[in-house]
Every structure is written in C-alpha cells, then in structure tokens.
Amino acid sequence: MSDLKAIDRQYVANTYARFPVELVSGKGSLVYDETGKEYIDMGSGIGVTAFGLADEIWKQAVTEQLGKLQHMSNLYYTEPCARLAQLLCQRTGMKKVFFCNSGAEANECIIKAARKYAAEKKGPEHTTIVTLENSFHGRTLTTLAATGQDHYHELFQPLTPGFVHAPAGDLEALKAIALENKAAGVLIECIQGEGGVNCLSGDFIRGVEAFCKAEDILFMVDEVQTGNGRTGKLYAYQNFGVEPDLVSTAKGLGGGLPLGAALLGEKAEFVLGSGDHGSTFGGNPVCCAGAISVLERLDEDFLAEVQRKGALARAALEGAEGIEAVTGLGLMIGIKPAHKAAGDVVKACIEDGVLCLTAKDKIRLLPALNIPEELLLKAIEVVKAHCA
C-alpha cells in the first residue's frame, strides 16, 4: 500500500469503503491515478462534475469569481447568488431559492418549509412528511429519518420524528398513509438513485401530485441526483409534466463545488421569513458562479444531446449477454447483471480503466453530461464484457 493510502486509512474516519485507487488529476471524462494510469470516469463524483473535470468554461467562471470575492456573509447582496436564483426560477417557474451546501441540507430546508406551511395553513398537528420505501434523502438525522431504508437507521436512534414511508408505486396506499398521518408534505425522487436507479411511473408521480394538490399537502421532489440535466431535462420532474411545490437539488448544480438549493414554488414562496433559516456558506459566490456557468450550458440543444447519448447507451446495453435489466433515464443508467454481483463488475472495470458506481444490486453510471460519445460507448463495452 502506498504511503498516502496508509495515511488515509489511519487518519480519515472509516466511513468510506474506498477502492484501492488514488486519483490525482483529470480532464473531461478522463481521470489519472498516481501511476499515470488512465480511467474513463463514469461516475463523475456521484453525478457532481456535470461538465467533467477541469472543464475550461467552468474553470474560468469559478476562477474569475475567486479573484473578486470568495465569500461574503448572507448579510449582504452578492451578484452570483442573485443571478443564479433568478436563473433557477426562470428555468423552472419556481418562485424563490434558498442556497445551502449539500443535498441533505436542501432537503432539510424543504422539510422545514413544508412543516411551517402546514402549521400555519392547517394547524400544528400537520407535521408528517411521507416519503417512499427504498428512498434516499441524506445522512443528517432528519434526512435519515426521511430515507426509507431501515439499514441506514440502525444504532442512530432516535431519529427526527414525523416521517412515514409509503410503498413506491402504490398510490392508494400512499394516500391512506398521508391522510391518516395528517401529512404536511409528500417527498419523492422521480428516479430512486441510491435505491437502485428505479424509475417511478409517470402515472404514480402525476397521481401523487394530483392528490397533494387536492388535499393541500405540499408535493416535494428530491432532485439532488436527478437534477441539473442528468435525465435529459433540467429537472427530472419535467419529464412527467408535474409542478412540485418544493424541490431540492445539489450534486451536479455546482459542477464540482459544494452547492445545494431548495426551490420554493408559489404556495411556499413566502413561507420562510427572516430568521427562519440560514447557512453561513449558503450562496457562496464562487460556487454560484460555477453553477451559473453549468445552468447556462444546459439549454434545450444540450439536453437533447443528453437524451440522445442516454438512448445510445441503453441501446448498447439492452439485451446484451449477462445483463438482466437496464433502468434509468438520460445519463442516469442502472444495469442489473444477470449472474454477477454489481460490486464485482465494478472492481473488474477498474482494472480495465473504467470507474463506475453501484446502487443496490445494480451498476450505476452517471457520466459527465458532456462525455464524448466514443468514451461513453468504450466504457459501456468494458461494463458489458464484465457482465457477460
């Protein structure tokens, strides 16, 4: 083991089962380890580096801002924060944005907004947030409570109360659970990412929206992983013709710098008032400058390319030997191997210079949205070879 790996193992908390690879630099969708070995990056830092590594346009936006003002408190106005909020609202029809630093924090914010809306509108007993079984919403004690996977909960009790889980895809069960528990909001991922790249059906998503509107329960969508162009639309919910009241996002938004956002729709526009929420680093000008450059490039032509490349990848994978199922949307791709464990396939791919992710029993691909077609198909051939 190299010195660095030994130091990391000794001093960094053991929360991550790292692969035995030390990465030192990258360009676009290629990344290099300390020996100079090249890898195709099919994970992009778990869907974070939307335009790949060391992208020139992103780098310029970030470094320009870095030279002007790297941080200022939220007591003052700064341009990147205001402009990014404007851009997000213009592109989604949402009304206001709260900035934070991560997906979990974005979810914390929309949970607070839903609770306050319901407390004021319907009474203080309307506090419950309904989420789905097999969901993932983050690692804080509140977002863990929201996460519908028991194995994350063990030994961390008590979690924040006020969360119940409904079976994904069963609309009638969800309605009953929401009414019985006096729900303030229903929070879903349109595609469950960590849960195994499982797409919810459009009928279910639209059914949840209609039910929430009818009952004045806030319809909340977690777009932390699916957002910012990943599925071939700016936000995944836009594939289904729904309009959430609250949206959380992070991961790809900053293009590689920590940035989360909670988008508040018309109902919740004025719910959070002065002093109701805050974040020291939230809306950091450098992160926001990077995010503006990301969002500005995610225009209709570019998103159509994401859809096209996603379809190309799917066509190459579907029906291939050793592949049981291909799931997801756009460049969010789940691959269920027929005979092998996903983790073993990912390890074998690393040997062959391809970095992939797993999600439950699937291999998960979240390449940079601008990955060149040749690299995408080359990486997919390696994955296919190790599934066969």
Ligand X SMILES: *Cc1c(COP(=O)(O)O)cnc(C)c1O
Q: Does 225 bind ligand X (CB under 6 A)?
A: yes
Reading the block at residue 38, the tokens are: 């090249």
Instruction: Tell me if 193 contacts ligand X by CB under 6 A.
Output: yes
Q: Using the minimum distance from each CB to ligand X, give the nearer residue, 78 or 225.
A: 225
Q: Which residue has the tokens 């863990």?
A: 144
Q: Which C-beta is closer to ligand X: that of 333 or that of 387?
A: 333
Give the interface segment with ligand X, choosing from 109-117, 217-225, 266-274, 314-322 (CB under 6 A).
217-225
Please, what is the angle between helix 56-66 and helix 285-297, to 10°?
A: 150
| The one among 115, 126, 137, 277 contacting ligand X by CB under 6 A | 137
Strands 246-249 and 198-199: unpaired
- Give the pair of three-digit tokens for residue 52: 């790949």
| Nearest distance from C-beta of residue 48 to ligand X, angstroms | 9
Q: Based on CB atoms, which residue is closest to ligand X, 194 or 245? A: 194
Whose Cβ is closer to ligand X: residue 178's or residue 259's?
259
Phi and psi of 227, rounded to 5°? -85, 180
191 versus 349: smaller Cβ distance to ligand X:
191
Q: Which of 138, 148, 282, 334 binds ligand X (CB under 6 A)?
A: 138
Q: Which of 317, 330, 321 is nearest to 363 (CA)?
A: 317
Q: Site for ligand X (CB under 6 A): which residue of 136, 163, 211, 219?
A: 136
Piece of 133-141, 179-187, 321-329, 344-352 that binds ligand X (CB under 6 A): 133-141
Question: Least distance from C-beta 92 to ligand X, angstroms?
Answer: 17
Q: Which is nearer to ligand X, 207 or 252 (CB)?
A: 252
For the bound state, the minimum distance from the C-beta of residue 123 to ligand X, rounded and expressed in Å, comes to 29
d(CA 335, CA 317): 8
Q: Does 144 bind ligand X (CB under 6 A)?
A: no
Least distance in Å: CB of 135 to ligand X? 8
208 phi-psi bin (left φ>0, alpha ψ -120 to 50, beta other): alpha
Which residue in this structure is represented by tokens 């499982």?
A: 198
Query: Per-residue x/- marks for ligand X, 88-107, CB under 6 A?
Result: --------------xxx--x
Distance CA 301, CA 297 (A): 9
Query: Is the bond preceding 372 in cis, omega lying within 30 degrees of 0?
Result: no
- Judged by beta carbon, residue 103 or residue 334, the one nearer ligand X is 103
Among 55, 194, 209, 245, binds ligand X (CB under 6 A): 194
The least distance separating ligand X from the CB of residue 56, rounded to whole angstroms, comes to 26
In whole angstroms, the minimum distance from the beta carbon of 79 to ligand X comes to: 25
Query: How far lies 307's CA from each of 208, 249, 302, 339, 349, in Å?
Result: 25, 20, 9, 29, 25
222 near ligand X, rule: CB under 6 A: yes
Q: Is 189 in the site for ligand X (CB under 6 A)?
A: yes
User: Nearest 5°: phi and psi at 247?
Assistant: -135, 135
Q: Which residue is nearest to ligand X (CB)?
A: 103
Q: Are strands 246-249 and 332-337 parallel, antiparallel or unpaired?
A: unpaired
Binding mask 245-284 for ligand X (x = CB under 6 A): -----xx---------------------------------
Number of residues that bind ligand X (CB under 6 A): 15
> What whole-number distance in Å separates Cα of residue 135 and Cα of residue 35?
38
Task: Please give the residue ranges that form the binding site for ligand X (CB under 6 A).
Answer: 102-104, 107, 136-138, 189, 193-194, 222, 224-225, 250-251
